[in-house]
Amino acid sequence: MEKVKTMKRDNYWKSLMPLKVALWIIDIILAYAIIICILLPVSIGVLDNYKYLINPLPFGNIKVTEYTGNDQNIIVPSRLMFLTISDIDDGVYQDNGNITSVYISEDVQVIPSFDGCANLEQLTFSENSICKSVDGFSRCINLNNVVLPESAERIEVGAFSGCVSLENIYIPDSVTYIGLGAFETTLFEYNHKTDEYYIAGDEILLFYNGDTDSIVIPEGIKSVCESSLYDSYDEKTDDRLIYYPSTIVRIDPFITENTTVYCPVMSEIEIDDYDVNDIKGTIVAPEGSFLESFCKENNIKFRAMTSEEKTICEEKTNSVTDKVVYANEE
């Protein structure tokens, strides 16, 4: 009988083990939460000339808040010892006159801002870079040559604007978006002033230097950089016509009141960062197309494209393909 009681008691305590383990785990989580709440947002410390804050979740992630060193050659880290860097404040490197070279490590996903680093001359990416978005090098007036990684997909608004010495930049075919003024006031932009159509990345019309009364985008082009076709703030009062090809997937969102846009595409068209107030002109597209729905939803002037207009649009866009200059074939 005594053995039976002992066995029952043992079985009872064994049945409580999962509950004990669960309570133990909860205690650890609560203790960690309390510690984090006490420490944040106090600076945890300094490692390798970087001040940082610890992030509560996920465990071991930190935010870099300041660079205290004077090194000329910067290797942008993805980790500090065993701590993973999840974020770097914009002001960590900005306007640093000591920096002459920057190396982006292979595990760095988001590039911190180096805007205004006047003595920066060399920017290098790891061959195994996983960086998809390139930004933060405006006003680096001594930066001359840049080779972007094959992982790059976007060059953000104003990324290299004001880099007056920037003459050569390799843009891989993986890039599908180049933002407004990405290369404004650079030698790179100036050197292509005579190219009517300058194409970079994944068939992106980066620079246009042709007629601004009747703008014809060549067949094969997939997207157009914002405000690359004409100055959206010009005071032109005469009618302007823009003809897009059947290959287009992204159009310029700046359409002035006197502008008529012809686009023969039925499928969805990307209009990045558009403001309905910037689309003041008329869009002409096939009946039942994505653009018709888009215009009706946003109260934008629309007219259904006739078969004759579609033929004219196709003839025009195919007639200028021989004027295209491709960046990586120069």
Question: Percent of the chain having pLDDT more than 90?
Answer: 62
Q: Write down the H helix ranges in the chain.
A: 2-39, 187-190, 290-297, 307-319
Q: Tokens in use for 324? A: 């295209």
List pLDDT tens digits, range 45-72: 677 888 888 766 556 677 888 999 999 9
Query: Are residues 238 and 258 in contact, defined by beta-carbon separation less than 8 angstroms?
Result: yes
DSSP string, 62-81: EEEEEE----SEEEE-SEET
Q: For residue 215, what are the β-bridge partners?
A: 242
Q: Tokens in use for 120? A: 């920066």
Domains of the chain: 70-191 (3.80.10.10), 200-330 (no CATH)
State the number of CA atoms in the 13 A half-sphere of 186 facing the CB: 26
- What is the distance between the alpha carbons of residues 247 and 205, in angstroms, rounded to a whole number? 12
- What is the distance between the alpha carbons of residues 236 and 228, in angstroms, rounded to a whole number? 16
Q: What is the DSSP letter of 7?
A: H
The pTM of the whole model exceeds 0.85: no
List pLDDT tens digits, range 212-254: 899 999 999 999 987 788 765 566 657 899 999 999 999 988 8
Q: What is the mean pLDDT of the chain?
A: 86
